Amino acid sequence: MAGDITIRAAAGHEMPQVLAFIRELAVYEHLEHEVVASEADLAAALFGPRRYAEVVFACLDGVPVGFALFFHNFSTFLGKPGIYLEDLFVRPAARGHGIGKRLLAWLAATALERGCARLDWAVLDWNELALGFYRSLGAVAQDKWTTMRVSGAALERLAHG
């Protein structure tokens, strides 16, 4: 696959493409039943008065073949912001050509440009291909930490005591 790989920010009118990538990622992760986001939800979160996250596309000859959705977090120990990569996906036909690495390099450069101390993300423990890829880039598993989540009815109960 020869071609020009570029990384660019998604535009407001491209929410159908963003949602398509999210759905493709969910299928790959066997989590498609969990995708309830709509184009309107994404537009509000990504381009509304308060932007909660950002999306970039990896394009091959101008055509999006992958994406990364990320947002800022903060390390109180370091006293600096970081970037949390929520989603990274490259379409299967475009894999193996350095597109995922280009997306991560773009995120790393963006983190440094923005004064961030680190770039974090989670990966499913069964995804050996991704784990090997991330380790090859110098990523280190944070095995001493357990991700916790409160959602749905439990979130409502917690909020309303």
Taking the domains of the chain in order of start, what are their residue ranges?
5-160
What the block records as the tokens of 78 is 């370091």
CATH of 5-160, one of 2.40.50.40, 3.30.70.520, 3.40.50.80, 3.40.630.30: 3.40.630.30
Q: Please tell me the total number of residues recorded for the chain in this structure.
A: 161
Residue 52, class by beta-carbon neighbours within 10 Å (0-12 exposed, 13-18 middle, 19+ buried)?
A: exposed
Query: What is the reported pTM?
Result: 0.93
Active site residues: 134
Please determine, for residue 7, whether its predicted confidence score (pLDDT) is greater than 90: yes
Kindly give, in sequence order, each residue whose CB lies less than 8 Å from that of residue 70, ignoring residues fewer than 6 positions away: 53, 54, 55, 83, 84, 85, 86, 107
Nearest to 58 by CA among 109, 21, 12: 21
Q: Which tens digit of pLDDT belongs to each residue from 95-137? A: 999 999 999 999 999 999 999 999 999 999 999 999 999 999 9
